[in-house]
Structure 1
Amino acid sequence: MESFVEALKGIQGVVWGPITILLLLFTGLYYTIRLKGIQIFHLHKSFQYIFEKEEGQGDVSTLGSLCTALAATIGTGSIVGVATALRAGGPGSLFWMWLSAFFGMATKYAECVLAVKYRSKDQNGQVAGGPMYYIELGLGKKFKWLACAFAFFGIFTALLGCGTFPQVNAIVESVNNAFHVPVGILGVIITVLAAAVIFGGIGSISKVAELVVPVMAIAYILGCVVALILQADQLPAAFAQIFQSAFTPHAMGGGIAGTVIISVMTAMRTGVARGIYTNEAGLGSAPIVAAAAQTNSPVRQGIVSMLGVFLTTIIICTMTALVIISSGLLETPVNGVLLDGGLLSNTAFQQSLPGNIGLYIVSIGLVFFSFTTIIGWSYYGERCLVYLCGGTKLITIYRVLYIICIAIAPYLTLDAIWILADITNALMAFPNLVGLLLLSPVVIKETNTYMENLKREKAEKAARGFTGVGDIEA
């Protein structure tokens, strides 16, 4: 098993090497510049649009689409993934998560604009969209191989990466630690519940997401806020650690230049990789469900979708990381062992909040967040399969395979799971990022047209209000 994990680490180092990291950051930076800082100056529209009902073609509401995308991202990455990133790359990993998330908001916007613009319908009349469609339809048949590569890796990621193994493993570890429920029983419960929702299709998935995600996100954030208030005196030192560790060796002795470079690259690679795992910006997954939103405006949906990155990484992941860093458990062993993963998150929250409140917040939060991620990713993999097969005939077989992966997940080890998830993420992101850069003129044109129309409508309303025409017409 150790040799297998080492082999996976070798692959991880290659796929998450400088090329992938630079491509992710460059894509976000490029769109940030060309779209004139859309994630800064138009973020407020994201909050406005999710509460406005819009008539349009699609399978789910705008809010349902966002919640389903959040359901697939606010999972183990926001709690366990943050802990593993901090352990592997030090507190500086959070800085690189912030940076990748900031640029990732522009990337997520571009993905979802293209997803709505190039969406189509499958044999059952359901919306079919995502990178595989905008790569082929936007770039032409000569790029179909790139679209197929994305779809293949998307199925692989759903079955063996983000969708199943890390989520189920986190639920089992956390609940077993908090409530001492046997692993076998937990595995059966998760499998049965997931099957019930997954076989209900996108309608069932989005309804569960709309119900669970807002409630649990608010509850978790409130728990984090209380924990941070109670240890507010540790926050200045925590922020200092984050910025220092981002550019200097963490938990390493000596001042050898090579050591500094390796340490900083580890923090950067871990932060960016875990950042994309938590918000999926550039991964190409969120556009699959964004395409199903009931809207007639690609830009409007893009603005709504970029909110997911802000909520997931900038808010929830940051709070999780601050609680862990300020607890001191990154440097302090417990019973002679440095904690990692869900156990590190659990212990940090339990130490920060009175009684067992912290333990229950993390455990219950992980259960609901991870479960919604499981059902969200089942839809992503399904849509990728529909594209590759040119129809819906294999959906039932795929769903059965997905359920089988859920059933065996509790018995796999944590190290191999997280490394495998990182690898599949990178393989999925690469074809999507290439497509995004080649289709950037389309995104920029759509955005400029939408913004010009908004300005014109605003000017017309102002003119009517100034002249009194609007009152006379009313």
Structure 2
Amino acid sequence: MDALLTVVQTINSYLSNYVLIILLIGTGLFFTIRTRFVQVRCFGEGVRRLFGTFSLKGGKQKSGMSSFQALATAIAAQVGTGNIVGACGAILVGGPGAIFWMWLIAFLGMATNYAEAVLAQKTRRVDPDGTVHGGPVYYIKTAFTGKFGTFLAGFFAVAIILALGFMGCMVQSNSIASTCNTAFGIPTWIMGLAIVVVGGFIFLGGISRIASVTEKLVPVMAIIYLVGGLAVIIANIGQLPAAFALIFECAFNPQASVGGVTFGIIAALSQGAKRGLFSNEAGMGSTPHAHAMANVKNPHEQGVVAIIAVFVDTFVVVTITALVSIITLYVGDGALAQGMYEGIDKTNMAQIAFGELFGASGGAMFVAICLLFFAFSTIISWNLFAKLNVEYLFGKKAVPVFMVIALCFIFAGSLLSNDLVWELADMFNQLMVLPNAIALIALGGAVSMCAKTRGEKCEIVKKEDAQAE
């Protein structure tokens, strides 16, 4: 196990330090330029469409989901452990400067996410019974015909099943179980069993039940976390300028030192890219599955809504986590500012930070409740995304088998805290980016036309092999 961990960590270091940074930033720049800064030009339109379709009772759709249900399902996938535990881990390893790079990755990722949603809409298939099939495997095979496209689509499908369906859900359930154990003393196996029972009930309800849960759960969990975070920031408002200054100093100063620890630019950039991907998932190819389900007039409409998903994930939720942690721990008399790192790790850092206002037990309980909402909603969405790819590879008969295995992984995750699981989740997350980003760039012209005309000219001419399928 130790030898395997070393191998996976080595692979991840090359992927996150070189390949991932180039692909994420390169793809984001590509679509930012090709779409003429669609994340800026159409941000207001995205907000208007979000509130125009907002509903806690969207109702069962004849096929797919409403636009808001698709957005809620996408945000449910994006806002999870990565927004609390992942963000804290990025700060601990890469320093506060990692947050700046997470912001940059997110800004560029807003354009990438627009492209993913547009292409997912344009290449989706709708069966006569109304069943919607959509996601990266379909636009990958549209971009590349023949055996090469089939290979890339298959590679992506296997990676997402392993990354989200199995490893990723283990990470989420482990975070729920460990924080609830710390805050409430609930045995991890009981928490794991509860996740399996409730999750299994939702999974069995199919897309309509998942949509119904996420459209209610996502707004509530976001508001709770936002209010709690703002309370801590307001209580320490005098430290806010110092917190922002530290973020920018550690992002660009190779010798930035906090509490006796020096954080380099490469470490900050690497952690920002890796945890940024795990947090907002732009370019990873997960959320297009949800956006493909949306019932909209043209792909541009869902594309601008997808922009808001990345904004909420990183510029709202991750920023709240970062500011609360930096204000309370890294500036002034904070424990980490004094070099007292013992007993603080990525799993309890947020609890300690919120505990500065709510008290140790109150902070632990608040984060545990928020993480329960965040991680559980992510499990729901990730399971759906993985299931769609299981169906693509093996047909509908394989779905029940996948469900049973996935629930076993979720339960096992609640019992096991293993660095290998985190590293494997990171590795497969990053491998998903490769075929997804290649296909996005190959179809960049269609995305550009859609953004420039705001959906008036948003057609993709499908190649013969794609049509035949």
Same fold (TM over 0.5): yes
Q: 1:424 aligns with which of 400, 422, 428?
A: 428
Distance across 2 between alignment mates of 1:437 and 1:239: 34
Which secondary structure state, in structure 2, belongs to the residue aligned with residue 306 of structure 1? Answer: helix
Which secondary structure state, in structure 1, belongs to the residue aligned with residue 405 of structure 2? Answer: helix
Match of residue 11 from structure 1: 11
Q: Which moved more, 1:316-325 or 1:439-448?
A: 439-448
Match of residue 64 from structure 1: 69
Match of residue 31 from structure 1: 31
Q: Is the 8 A contact 1:97 1:272 kept in 2?
A: yes
Structure 1 gap segments, 5+ residues each: 455-474
1:179-214, Cα deviation, whole Å (9 max, x unpaired)? 011112111111111111111111111111111110
Distance across 1 between alignment mates of 2:3 and 2:255: 27
State the 1:332 CA deviation. Answer: 4.6
Match of residue 226 from structure 1: 231
Q: 2:407 aligns with which of 380, 403, 406?
A: 403
Q: Is the 8 A contact 1:227 1:349 kept in 2?
A: yes
In the alignment, is residue 113 of structure 1 matched against residue 156 of structure 2?
no
Match of residue 349 from structure 1: 354
Please give the root-mean-square deviation of Cα atoms over the aligned residues, in Å.
2.4
Match of residue 241 from structure 1: 246
1:291-346, Cα deviation, whole Å (9 max, x unpaired)? 01111311110111111100000111011011111112444566x71511221111
Structure 2 gap segments, 5+ residues each: 330-334, 459-469
Distance across 1 between alignment mates of 2:384 and 2:372: 19
Q: Is the 8 A contact 2:239 2:327 kept in 1?
A: yes
State the 1:360 CA deviation. Answer: 2.5
1:355-385, Cα deviation, whole Å (9 max, x unpaired)? 7443332110000111110010000001111
Match of residue 213 from structure 1: 218
Match of residue 153 from structure 1: 159
Distance across 1 between alignment mates of 2:87 and 2:381: 20
Aligned residues: 446
Which secondary structure state, in structure 2, belongs to the residue aligned with residue 342 of structure 1? Answer: coil
Question: Percent of aligned positions with the same letter in both sequences?
Answer: 37
Match of residue 22 from structure 2: 22
1:115-168, Cα deviation, whole Å (9 max, x unpaired)? 000000369742111110011124323422111111111111123333x11110
Which secondary structure state, in structure 2, belongs to the residue aligned with residue 17 of structure 1? Answer: helix
Distance change (3 Å), C-alpha of 1:57 and 1:291: farther
Distance change (3 Å), C-alpha of 1:296 and 1:356: same
Which secondary structure state, in structure 1, belongs to the residue aligned with residue 64 of structure 2? Answer: coil
Q: Is the 8 A contact 1:91 1:246 kept in 2?
A: yes
State the 1:240 CA deviation. Answer: 1.4
State the 1:46 CA deviation. Answer: 1.3
Distance across 2 between alignment mates of 1:159 and 1:16: 22
1:261-303, Cα deviation, whole Å (9 max, x unpaired)? xx32121111111111111000011101110111131111011
Distance across 1 between alignment mates of 2:429 and 2:80: 15
Which secondary structure state, in structure 2, belongs to the residue aligned with residue 161 of structure 1? Answer: helix
Q: 1:339 aligns with which of 340, 344, 364?
A: 344
In the alignment, is residue 311 of structure 1 matched against residue 317 of structure 2?
no
Q: Which moved more, 1:74-83 or 1:246-255?
A: 246-255
Distance across 1 between alignment mates of 2:119 and 2:385: 16
Q: One-letter code of the match for 1:91?
A: P
Which secondary structure state, in structure 1, belongs to the residue aligned with residue 397 of structure 2? Answer: coil
Match of residue 83 from structure 1: 88
Match of residue 450 from structure 1: 454
1:413-471, Cα deviation, whole Å (9 max, x unpaired)? 253332222111110111100001110011112222336689xxxxxxxxxxxxxxxxx
Q: Is the 8 A contact 1:59 1:292 kept in 2?
A: yes
Match of residue 169 from structure 1: 174
Q: Which moved more, 1:234-243 or 1:218-227?
A: 234-243
Q: One-letter code of the match for 1:423?
A: M
In the alignment, is residue 264 of structure 1 matched against residue 270 of structure 2?
no
Q: TM-score, normalised by structure 1?
A: 0.89
Q: Is the 8 A contact 1:124 1:392 kept in 2?
A: no
Distance change (3 Å), C-alpha of 1:313 and 1:414: farther
Distance across 2 between alignment mates of 1:213 and 1:297: 25
Larger CA Rg, structure 1 vs 2 = 1
